[in-house]
């Protein structure tokens, strides 16, 4: 337990120092939710500001989790620091995931605060505050399946020897599978099957259902939580195999 707490503290320390010493990074962080909101608005103008608010934060949370965890694994390999990460008392998957958790929490809070002025301009304060708290509730629950899914992508990144930026393909594929770019119901059956295995799909459905008053938001959240068990188990198993294979080969870079 102490090792896990140390990893969480290390992640929090890194994130706070990063944002404190890099105002440009902080500025981009608070501007990105507006870009995501414009994207969701341009793709579907039938929603409300509240729906765009929730969907933008869910979208960013999912994409950032995959990018940051898998990107850290890839960056560690490029910079030659992967052997040092692997030699810590914790497993490689624990290092990648637990050091990211504080970053996810801090950045989700900052993104919600950055967008919240729009809500307070349009809605009464109690209603705007309700939407902000609802968004934080959703992205916090969404962290569970996102960690396992992101670890799967990170393990796949380490398993292949190709160093090309194929990770860049993850974002458009996620957007397509989650129905952000195109209604999933109009896509082939195998694409719909893949879509149901993506945490972002259920987070977006839960966001839309909650605000519209439709039934099904609880089922969407339950599906996302169920995925967390599957993805975390698969991610942990694949990560262990990849780490053993890399050690056996005698080369982690």
Give the highest mean pLDDT range of 101-115, 136-150, 218-232.
101-115
Per-chain mean pLDDT for the chain: 81
pTM metric for this prediction: 0.80
Q: Would you state the pLDDT for residue 83?
A: 72
What mean pLDDT comes out for the span 200-205?
Answer: 78
Report percent pLDDT > 70 for the chain.
Answer: 91
pLDDT digits (tens, 9 = 90+) for 79-93: 877 777 767 787 878
Q: How far is CA 243 from CA 73, 112, 160, 192, 249, in A?
A: 12, 36, 12, 32, 10
Mean pLDDT of 26-33: 89
> Cα separation of 124 and 128, whole Å?
6
Question: How many Cβ atoms sit within 10 Å of the Cβ of residue 174?
Answer: 23
pLDDT on residue 161: 66
Mean pLDDT on 210-230: 77
Checking if the pLDDT of 106 tops 90, the result is: yes
Mean pLDDT of 103-127: 89
Q: How far apart are CA 75 and CA 81, in angstroms?
A: 8
Q: What one-character DSSP code corresponds to residue 197?
A: T
């Amino acid at each position: 337990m102490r090792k896990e707490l140390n990893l969480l503290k290390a992640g929090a320390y890194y994130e706070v120092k990063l944002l404190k010493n890099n105002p440009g990074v902080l500025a981009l962080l608070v501007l990105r939710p507006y870009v995501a909101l414009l994207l969701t608005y341009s793709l579907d103008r039938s929603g409300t500001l509240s729906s765009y608010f929730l969907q933008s934060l869910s979208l960013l949370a999912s994409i950032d989790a995959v990018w940051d965890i898998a990107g850290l694994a890839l960056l560690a390999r490029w910079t030659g620091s992967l052997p040092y990460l692997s030699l810590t008392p914790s497993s490689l998957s624990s290092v990648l995931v637990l050091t990211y958790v504080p970053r996810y929490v801090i950045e989700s809070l900052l993104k919600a605060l950055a967008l919240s002025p729009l809500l307070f301009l349009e809605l009464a304060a109690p209603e705007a505050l309700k939407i902000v708290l609802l968004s934080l509730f959703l992205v916090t629950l969404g962290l569970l399946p996102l960690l396992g899914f992101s670890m799967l992508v990170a393990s796949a990144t380490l398993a292949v020897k190709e160093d090309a930026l194929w990770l860049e393909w993850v974002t458009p594929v996620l957007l397509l599978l989650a129905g952000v770019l195109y209604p999933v119901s109009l896509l082939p059956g195998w694409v719909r099957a893949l879509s149901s295995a993506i945490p972002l799909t259920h987070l977006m459905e839960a966001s839309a259902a909650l605000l519209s008053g439709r039934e099904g938001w609880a089922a969407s959240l339950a599906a996302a939580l169920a995925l967390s068990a599957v993805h975390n188990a698969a991610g942990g198993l694949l990560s262990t195999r990849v780490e053993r294979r890399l050690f056996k080969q005698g080369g982690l870079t």
